[in-house]
């Protein structure tokens, strides 16, 4: 798949089934995605992978974090995909690279991973929610002090009967400012 095609055809996949990448495949894709921009090569991230029954543990933690009337639904959320890859931001201290750049590097890595998953025939969706800050969720994922949960990549095989139209390519002209003679003369 060409890069432009991958960017234009990758979509967040709501319905995912088996198979998902195994640990070796995930590691290989993550290694490739790690070529994303990362000032200082700090790798300010780590991943917590959940499969099979491990997803129920997260479901229980999400249920405990939510309101009573939504607990049953929250407990089922991790079962929407065969692999949940928890995205953990680990900002590095004592470095000249500011926290925001480290967070941007982590987001760049995640998007590169999504493109690579798509290129290899898997689907994914980056999910967040109210459980991100929950102590029960942090405990279930063995988060360490100073780490921040950014969400989960739900990963699996896209549902075969759910074809989605390509994303429309937006007109971006209104997001571009060109500095030049007209701006210089209006400032005078």
Q: Is 128 annotated as a binding residue?
A: yes
Q: Is 56 annotated as a binding residue?
A: no
Quote the CA–CA distance of 40 and 28 in Å, as a whole number.
Answer: 22
Quote the CA–CA distance of 24 and 14 in Å, as a whole number.
Answer: 24
Quote the CA–CA distance of 48 and 88 in Å, as a whole number.
Answer: 8
Q: Between 99-119 and 23-33, two packed helices, what is the crossing angle to 10 degrees?
A: 130
Quote the CA–CA distance of 26 and 31 in Å, as a whole number.
Answer: 9
Q: Is 92 annotated as a binding residue?
A: no
Handedness of CA 81, 102, 61, 52 (dihedral sign): positive
What is the DSSP secondary structure assignment for residue 79, as one 8-state letter?
Answer: G
Q: Is 12 annotated as a binding residue?
A: yes
Q: Is 118 annotated as a binding residue?
A: no
| Annotated binding-site members for FMN | 10-12, 39, 126-128
| Annotated binding-site members | 10-12, 39, 126-128
């Amino acid at each position: 798949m060409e890069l432009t095609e991958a960017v234009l055809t990758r979509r967040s996949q709501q319905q995912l089934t088996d198979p998902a990448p195994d640990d070796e495949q995930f590691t290989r894709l993550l290694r490739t995605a790690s070529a994303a921009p990362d000032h200082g090569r700090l790798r300010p991230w780590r991943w917590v992978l959940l499969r099979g029954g491990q997803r129920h543990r997260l479901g229980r933690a999400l249920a405990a974090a939510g309101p009573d009337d939504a607990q049953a639904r929250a407990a089922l959320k991790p079962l929407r995909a065969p692999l949940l890859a928890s995205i953990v931001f680990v900002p590095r201290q004592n470095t000249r690279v500011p926290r925001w750049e480290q967070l941007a590097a982590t987001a760049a890595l995640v998007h590169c991973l999504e493109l690579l998953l798509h290129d290899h025939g898997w689907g994914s969706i980056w999910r967040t929610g109210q459980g991100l800050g929950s102590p029960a969720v942090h405990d279930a994922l063995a988060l360490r002090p100073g780490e921040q949960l950014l969400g989960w990549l739900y990963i699996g095989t896209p549902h075969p009967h759910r074809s989605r139209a390509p994303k429309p390519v937006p007109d971006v002209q209104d997001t571009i400012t060109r500095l030049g003679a007209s701006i210089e003369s209006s400032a005078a």
